[in-house]
């Protein structure tokens, strides 16, 4: 299909989500709403940045005087369930690599919003593939490396882009958190030490929470002094913030499940290369998985990864989302659309793969009330393609956030 001209649509970069809110009609030969059946010859109406109508073109009234854009395939805006983009930069220089602070093993007080660069060119690059929302922040590599955030892939400042300034607390178990001559540090030196240090901090956070609650209930009791580290971990203990646990080997995954049960906290497994060995245990624990990138290097902790893992987890009913992760070499990030496409050859269906980068990712991140599917009342975030989005020869021809093209190849 020859894409139709865009009518009165301005290409916008770097405005706040409030400013971006506009009116637009998108018409698709095939519309994947991820909220029901696929709609052939469908339309999406966005008013004031929110979806106001969706359905077949023949029966959906269109507002007069609103720009109309056509595409072969339209999906919800894609969600990268775990990345460090915005914390790392494409230049791969020391001054744009803020994803991991190596001075201490446990630093939950480090806030992603204090380091996130909303103008990082890698963010613009991701949205050219239809990625509209990212879960980014401190990456794996320390027992607790810091906080994560959720942001739209637009806006000039983090305040303009952010949906959730504190989304999760990033933790690492296993080899990834063990020191090996890093800056003279020797601890933690083993897996058992990693786990014991994490448990000790959670115990302290529980005690801190008890003291705070006691002071609130009794005016005669002095509240504990402010402790930024304990304040964050207290939110983990209370269940307000999940612990995002990067663990690849089966024994480290079991340690994560054991700690979650011991402290009755919410966790999300990240990476989980050997999760196919623990399907019953993960399902019984009710823990979702943000699976490692399909094309991550299969070495060290990931030496036993399998392309078939996603299909096995999904078949078992375990919530799964895909991620671009973190690439230590250039170009510093992957494209989650391609990562999902790879799994189609290994037991994952088309709509299952699409769900893992749209609605299922939104549910795991707790933002499905706003994004992840094309439904009335949700944000007007759409990805437009000239063919099957998972086909290598197809192209992303437009990305819409809050009803405005933030990336566009329509000529």
Tell me the three state secondary structure of residue 14.
coil
pLDDT at 8: 30
User: What's the rounded Cα separation, in Å, for the pair 150 and 362?
Assistant: 10
User: What's the rounded Cα separation, in Å, for the pair 32 and 339?
Assistant: 19
User: What is the residue-averaged pLDDT of the chain?
Assistant: 91
Nearest to 238 by CA among 140, 143, 169: 169
Asked whether the beta carbons of 393 and 341 are under 8 A apart, the reply is: no
Task: Count Cβ neighbours within 10 Å for each residue of 236-255 and write b for 16 or more, e otherwise.
Answer: bbeeebbbbbbbbbbebbbb
pLDDT at 400: 96
Query: Is 19's pLDDT higher than 60?
Result: no
Query: Is 82's pLDDT higher than 70?
Result: yes
pLDDT in tens, 252-263: 999 999 999 999
pLDDT in tens, 278-288: 999 999 999 99
pLDDT at 407: 83
Asked whether the beta carbons of 134 and 140 are under 8 A apart, the reply is: no
* DSSP line for 31-97: E--SSSS-EEEEEEEEETTEEEEEEETTTS---TT--EEEEEEEEEPEEESSB-BTTB-TT--GGGB
User: What's the rounded Cα separation, in Å, for the pair 384 and 375?
Assistant: 16
Q: Is the peptide bond before 331 cis (omega within 30 degrees of 0)?
A: yes
pLDDT in tens, 42-76: 999 999 999 999 999 999 999 999 999 999 999 99
pLDDT at 180: 67
Question: pLDDT over 90 for what percent of the chain?
Answer: 80
Q: Which residues contact 341 (CB under 8 A, 6 or more apart)?
A: 353, 389, 390, 391, 392
Nearest to 32 by CA among 54, 48, 63: 54
**Per-residue confidence at 12, pLDDT binned at 50, 70, 90?**
very low
Average pLDDT of the segment spanning 18-22: 58
pLDDT in tens, 105-141: 999 999 999 999 999 999 999 999 999 999 999 999 9
Average pLDDT of the segment spanning 176-204: 87
pLDDT at 332: 74
Cα radius of gyration rounded to whole Å, the chain: 22
pLDDT at 38: 96
User: What's the rounded Cα separation, in Å, for the pair 167 and 316?
Assistant: 26
Nearest to 273 by CA among 250, 243, 244: 250
pLDDT at 209: 95
pLDDT in tens, 301-357: 999 999 999 999 999 999 999 999 987 766 678 899 999 999 999 999 999 999 999
Q: Which pair of tokens denotes residue 32?
A: 């994947």
Average pLDDT of the segment spanning 69-84: 97
**Per-residue confidence at 17, pLDDT binned at 50, 70, 90?**
very low
């Amino acid at each position: 299909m020859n894409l139709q001209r865009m009518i009165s649509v301005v290409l916008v970069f770097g405005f706040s989500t409030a400013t971006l809110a506009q009116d637009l009609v998108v018409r698709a030969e095939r519309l994947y709403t991820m909220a029901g059946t696929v709609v052939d010859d469908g339309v999406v109406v966005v008013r004031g940045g929110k979806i106001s109508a969706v359905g077949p073109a023949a029966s959906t009234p269109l507002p007069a005087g609103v720009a109309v854009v056509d595409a072969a395939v339209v999906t919800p805006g894609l969600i990268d369930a775990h990345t460090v983009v915005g914390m790392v930069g494409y230049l791969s220089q020391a001054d744009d690599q803020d994803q991991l602070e190596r001075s201490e093993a446990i630093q939950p007080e480090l806030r992603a919003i204090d380091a996130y660069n909303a103008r990082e060119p890698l963010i613009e690059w991701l949205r050219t593939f239809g990625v509209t929302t990212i879960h980014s922040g401190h990456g794996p590599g320390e027992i607790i490396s810091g906080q994560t955030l959720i942001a739209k892939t637009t806006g000039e400042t983090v305040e303009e882009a952010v949906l959730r300034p504190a989304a999760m607390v990033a933790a690492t178990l296993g080899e990834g958190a063990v020191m090996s001559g890093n800056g003279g540090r020797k601890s933690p030196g083993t897996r058992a030490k990693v786990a014991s240090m994490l448990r000790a901090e959670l115990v302290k956070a529980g005690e801190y929470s008890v003291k705070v609650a006691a002071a609130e209930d009794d005016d005669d009791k002095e509240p504990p002094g402010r402790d930024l580290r304990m304040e964050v971990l207290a939110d983990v203990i209370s269940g307000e913030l999940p612990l995002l646990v990067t663990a690849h080997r089966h024994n480290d995954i079991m340690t994560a499940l054991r700690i979650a049960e011991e402290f009755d906290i919410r966790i999300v497994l990240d990476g989980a290369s050997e999760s196919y060995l623990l399907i019953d245990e993960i399902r019984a624990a009710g823990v979702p998985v943000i699976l490692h990138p399909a094309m991550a290097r299969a070495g060290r902790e990931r030496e036993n990864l399998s392309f078939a893992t996603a299909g096995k987890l999904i078949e078992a009913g375990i919530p799964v989302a895909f991620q671009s992760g973190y690439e230590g070499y250039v170009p510093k990030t992957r494209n989650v659309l391609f990562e999902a496409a790879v799994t189609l050859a290994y037991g994952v269906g088309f709509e299952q793969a699409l769900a893992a980068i749209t609605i299922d990712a939104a549910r795991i991140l707790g933002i499905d009330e706003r994004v992840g599917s094309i439904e009335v009342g949700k944000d007007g975030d759409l990805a437009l393609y000239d063919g099957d989005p998972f086909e290598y020869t197809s192209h992303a021809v437009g990305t819409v956030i809050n009803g405005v093209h933030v990336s566009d190849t329509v000529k």
